[in-house]
Amino acid sequence: MLDQGECNGSCPDACVLLSALLSGIAAELWPGEGFDRRRFVELWVRFADPKLVPSLISVPLLRRSFRDAGRLADVTALEEARREMFGLGNGCLVLVGDRVDMTEAELLTVLPKADRKEFRVYSYPSLFYKHIRSNLVHEYKLSEDAASHFATRLQANVSYVNRADPAGMELSRRLIHFHIEWLANIVRSIASNVAPLIENYQTLPQPPNWWVSG
């Protein structure tokens, strides 16, 4: 309802509520301070319904990070893997997550020498925490890499908004948008899966290696 403008709401308002629910659940399972991002991502990866494909890696944002770092061979490899979506003539193409983004296993076949950690930084839960949750909480707005509106009315988990970027190396810049219906389903599935633990006041030990840390 908030995402559709009811109660004078908006997509960021809905994201704030969903973020608070996830952060609260994560803090109940792994109490303590100083590792909020790690437990937030861990909760999402471990307890979201796999059928929702919750933890894909954002290829457009990963590709941009490689380009900014001058890793042009890795940029080319990603473009070859998604040849119909990048390159000349495709700069304004509307990209949808389940078509352009990849699993970690798929990315390792494309970039076998890469570190899992740099993939996981660009996973959906990590990006949502950084560009949506944290920016809204601390700066009252989304980051410059995220969009509050969708670029397609097709049913999607994630889509990318094209924004002109005359100062950059390309004509357009892809901003990630998390579709609220999919996000709500992520939160519902997590809440359902952790309910027995929460009801029994059960906490979980901190893993020796948090997922997002590789």
Q: Decide if 10 is inside a domain.
A: yes
Return per-residue pLDDT of the chain as tens, 214 residues.
767 777 777 888 899 999 999 999 999 999 999 999 999 999 999 999 999 999 999 999 999 999 999 999 999 999 999 988 887 666 678 899 999 999 999 999 999 999 999 999 999 999 999 999 999 988 889 999 999 888 777 778 999 998 877 665 566 789 999 999 999 999 999 999 999 999 999 999 999 999 999 8
Among all chains, which residue has been given the structure tokens 């893997």?
81
Q: Provide CB contacts within 8 A for 33, sequence distance 6+.
A: none
Q: Decide if 1 is inside a domain.
A: no
Q: Decide if 127 is inside a domain.
A: yes
Task: For residues 207 and 66, give the distance between their C-alpha atoms in angstroms, rounded to a whole number.
Answer: 29
Q: Decide if 48 is inside a domain.
A: yes
pTM of the prediction? 0.92
Give residue 124's domain range. 6-213
Domain count, the chain: 1
